[in-house]
Structure 1
Amino acid sequence: MKAVGRQGDWESRTDAKVPAPAEVATRLGSAEGDLCVRTAYEFLADGKPVQLSTSWEPCELTGGTLVVLPEGGPHAGVGEGQPVETADIVVPAALCETIYEIPISR
């Protein structure tokens, strides 16, 4: 944010033992209804929302470990060799520029 002259900040709320919806379970390689830790994030620039994100982590993998809270402990922000987290990310279209790179074969 500093590079573009803005003050960045974020807020989060974590809920434990939330049943995974079908689409989340598919991405995590688990079953619908398996318990997850869900964290909702709001990222801000100059106090205004610029991105929303909802993160899902399977309790079966992270429950009772130091990584159960995604923003705490010595393993915060580090993944493993299988899906350990999935997220739905929303960014306002007015804040984005979409660039497509499409290979063309002859």
Structure 2
Amino acid sequence: MQQSQRYGFREIAAKIRQEIQDRQYPTGSVLPPEPELAERYGASRSLVNRAMQMLAAEGIVRPRQGRGTIVTWLPPMLHSPARYDRTTRENNGARGAFDAEVRALGLEPQHEITTEHAEPPVEVAETLGLPASEPNCLVRRRRLLASGIPVRLNASWFPLDIAGGTILEEEAPVIVGGVKTALAELGYPQVTAREHITPSRLPTDAEALALEISPERTVMEIMHVGRTAEGKAVEVTITVAPAHYLVAEYEFPLA
């Protein structure tokens, strides 16, 4: 392979970053090995390795033992009220807003789901109007991936007397439109929602492991509460995502 001029590690990182963003290396693909990149850029392996470390710190790539360096770059997904529109959530059979968003990027959405009856955290219990010391909730936990890249952790809490024994308790159903559509079909359509966003915090060890990020990468936490026309809270979903994967945008009227 013909060598080009010699580059520093920042220039190498910039060129690989641009190639990734131009989709020459798609999300989920494996980058060429470091010796090949070193030859391509006329640089030492140590410089290429420093470039890889820089890109990994940005969340653009991630080394995986036995597989090489995986491309984990995603354009930030817009988090706005429009994502909860039923037409959007059910577009082309999507299983909720996340499915629709990931498919719009040309990637494959994947869900890893577990469910259990559990005692809710105090804040969740208070929001749902339930005692915190009883296993009176169904919690539906999901690790959400885009073409094999973990991008979100969701924990959705529902009163057990609403969700117990329903499709929400199944661990691998296809729920077109996601949990909001399922609740509507159970007789609890949501008409309002409130979100509390913590824009930047460090992940717990368990979150970092599940999201496959370093403990130094910041995450965004969103607490979403959905209510019926009567004002009854029927869903509390807590989402944790690497901060670089989300951009929040809201539009509201001004008096």
Q: TM-score, normalised by structure 2?
A: 0.35
Greater relative contact order (CA < 8 Å, ≥ 6 in sequence): 1
> Residue in 1 aligned with 2:163?
62
8 A contact 2:140–2:168 mirrored in 1: no
Indicate which of 140, 149, 171 corresponds to 1:48: 149
TM-score with structure 1 length normalisation? 0.75
Letter aligned with residue 58 of structure 1: P
Q: Aligned residue pairs: how many? A: 103
CA distance in structure 1 between the aligned counterparts of 2:168 and 2:252, rounded to whole angstroms: 39
CA contact (8 A) 1:25 1:32 kept: yes
Structure number with greater Rg is 2
| Amino acid paired to 2:235 | E
Verify: 1:37 aligned to 2:142, yes or no. Answer: no
Which one of 21, 26, 38 corresponds to residue 121 of structure 2?
21
In the alignment, is the contact (CA less than 8 A) between 2:138 and 2:158 conserved in 1? Answer: yes
Change (3 A) 1:33 1:46: same
Report the alpha carbon displacement of residue 95 of structure 1 after superposing the two structures with TM.
Answer: 0.8
Aligned 1:71-86 pairs, distance under 5 A: 77-79=182-184, 80=188, 81=228, 82-86=232-236
Aligned AA for 2:123?
Answer: E
Cα distance 1:104–1:6, how it changes in 2: closer, same or farther (>3 A)? same
Q: Deviation at 1:67?
A: 5.0
After the TM superposition, which segments of 4 or more aligned residues of structure 1 sit over 4 Å from their partners?
A: 70-76, 100-105
Tell me the CA shift for residue 73 of structure 1. 9.5
Where do 5+ consecutive residues of structure 1 fail to align? none
Whole-Å separation in 2 of the counterparts to 1:37 and 1:54: 10
Percent identity, please.
29
Query: Please, what is the CA RMSD of the aligned residues?
Result: 2.9
| Cα offset, 1:68, TM superposition | 5.4
Structure 2: distance between partners of 1:68 and 1:99: 29
